[in-house]
Amino acid sequence: MGFRTGWKSLLKDAGWSLLWVPALMLPFDLAVAGVAVALGHPKDLNTLILAVQKLFIGPLGLSAGRSFPLWYGILIAVLFPLINPLLEEIHYRGYVQPRIAARTKHAWIAIGFTSIFFGLQYAAYAWAWGSVPVFVAGYLVWGIVAGVISHLQRRIATLVFAHFLVSIPVAVLPLAYILLSLLVTKTTV
């Protein structure tokens, strides 16, 4: 994985990780926005927001949050950012990508292959069918950038930490959604 020891090395890795967050998120956000615009054909900002809500939430709306217990949201909020980045980066960038690169003698084939499967894996995270292409496109692009970073650095420790930082707000979303649906339920009853 390439974890280093010593304060100086840890600070350097933290700096690289903080650099990788926008380097990963900007292309990801552009891909997500591009696919959402292409699918939603918004006429203005308001219709874009409605199209994105429809893509990501689907027909269930806030009632989807009521189908999950509060403990589930708390569990996801705590465990997801700790486990997901570590397992995904070890699997895709630390294990599969170097082996494909070694067999094919081409890093771009390994990066492309792992990125495609990384993106397809995220289809399972979509709450609504309409958001599947958005998730796949966004995470395909994330996989490409992460693959290039791991190839150039020859280590994944900084990617694991950057992925962890990005996963925190994503992990809190289910909890916020459940709490919001509980709040809406209490105010309408």
pLDDT digits 0-9 by tens, 135-183:
899 999 999 999 999 999 999 999 999 999 999 887 887 777 777 777 7
Structural contact between residues 155 and 16, judged by C-beta atoms closer than 8 angstroms: no
Closest CA to 144 of 27, 41, 30: 27
Range of the domain at 54: 7-59+70-188
The pLDDT value recorded for residue 118 is 96
Q: What is the pTM of this model?
A: 0.81
CA distances from 113 to 55, 120, 121 (A): 27, 11, 12
- Total domains present in the chain: 1
Examine residue 2 and state whether it is found in any structural domain, yes or no: no
Domain membership of residue 65 (yes or no) is no
Helix (H, G, I), strand (E, B) or coil at 105: coil
Nearest CA among 142, 99, 80 for reference residue 117 = 142
User: Is 1 among the domain residues?
Assistant: no
Does residue 167 belong to any structural domain of this protein? yes
